[in-house]
Amino acid sequence: MKMSSDNLRLLVPILSLLLLLAGVFYLQPRAMSYMGLNLLFNLAVPIALATIAQMLIMSVNDLDLSMGTFVSFVACVTATYLNDTPALGALILLAAIAVYAVMGVVIHLRNLPSIVVTLGMSFIWAGLAVLLLPAPGGTAPVWIRSLMTSKPPVVPMAIIASAIIAVVAHVIVMRSSFGVLIRGVGGNQRSVERAGWSIIAARGGAYALAACFAVAAGITLVGLATSADANIALRYTLLSIAGVILGGGEFTGGRVSPIGAVIGALTLTLAGSFLSFLRISPDWQIGAQGVILILVLALRLIFSGRTAKTGRSAKT
């Protein structure tokens, strides 16, 4: 059977996830239950959403270093304004999405490095978050709290939500015209421009859509955590980048995979539980995550090396 490169791209993330899952079940058979799975994957939902957001930015060859602070900011808004005065809260979040769109447009118009612009933005979001909630606090709106803690029959909420996120993102990015356009910008911006498309609109749109997913990440995070603080999601910047890469995405060339990104996010979440089940000393938890990241990347190299050889003659 001939495998398309897209399917092959998904193989490594799926394998890594299954391997980790098998490891977890082996170490802790009790995890193989409704409650166990829910616990394992609970925190995956906001991470998956943030990973999709990062993936959208990466599909136009940019990188968002402000993802973590932005999600934290959204969490702070959710736990304060969105709870107390929902209309005003929604307005603030819409404005934040607009800021992202503007950021995309400015980055394109002035040909700025996205890393530096988002680095600057990360200070701004962090500042706003600290102004909103100088100390941990706030309350999660009841509706998101009940949504995130609901217990649907048979399959835990976290898994259902992850599947929905993957399908929605897949439809938008891989099936819709807009998704084709933004991946086209990542693949060969010049030719998309020559075909008469507005690259400004495409990039602005990609950033705005990314902001929508990031906002969803912030809201669901508060739903899980019940309250917020200004530093609640700082690690999401690195987690989201790692998630996209684990999921088979690439930094350039518009080669991304939404389903892979969600799987990457699940893998990262699971890695934490796996390590604690392994009874690795907490000192080495972070380091072991680094090792897992390196291993998956090495695994991918082996696989992509094989496809690169078959596809190489066509490339040059």
Which of 135, 153, 195, 309 contacts another protein by CB under 8 A? 195
Q: Which residue reads 């859509």 in tokens?
A: 209
Residue 153 CB, nearest approach to another protein (Å): 33
Least Å distance, CB 118 to another protein, is 10
Phi, psi of 144 (to 5 degrees): -75, -35
Among 184, 218, 223, 260, binds another protein (CB under 8 A): 184
Residue 91's alpha-carbon distances to 88, 138, 222, 255, 261, in angstroms, are 5, 18, 18, 34, 29
Residue of 55, 47, 63 whose CA lies nearest to 221? 47
x-or-dash pattern for another protein, window 196-215, by CB under 8 A?
A: xx------------------
Residue closer to another protein (CB basis): 69 or 162: 69
Closest listed residue to residue 77, CA positions, set 265, 217, 238? 217
What's at 179, amino acid-wise?
Answer: G
Task: Enumerate residues 224-253 that contact another protein by CB under 8 A.
Answer: 238, 241-242, 245, 251, 253
Site for another protein in 152-181 (CB under 8 A): 175, 177, 180-181
Q: Applying CB under 8 A, which of residues 99, 130, 160, 163 lies at the interface with another protein? A: 130
Q: Which is nearer to another protein, 126 or 158 (CB)?
A: 126
Q: Contact with another protein (CB under 8 A): which of 52, 55, 192, 206?
A: 192
Query: What single-letter amino acid sits at 210?
Result: A
* Distance separating alpha carbons of residues 220 and 210, to the nearest angstrom: 15
> Which of these ranges, 42-50, 126-134, 210-218, 265-273, lies near another protein under the rule CB under 8 A?
126-134
228: β partners? 137
DSSP 8-state secondary structure symbol assigned to residue 2: P
110 binds another protein (CB under 8 A): yes
Q: Extract the tokens encoding 279.
A: 């009874």
Looking at residues 27 to 66 of the shown chain, list those that interact with another protein (rule: CB under 8 A). 63
- The least CB distance from residue 9 to another protein, in Å, is 11
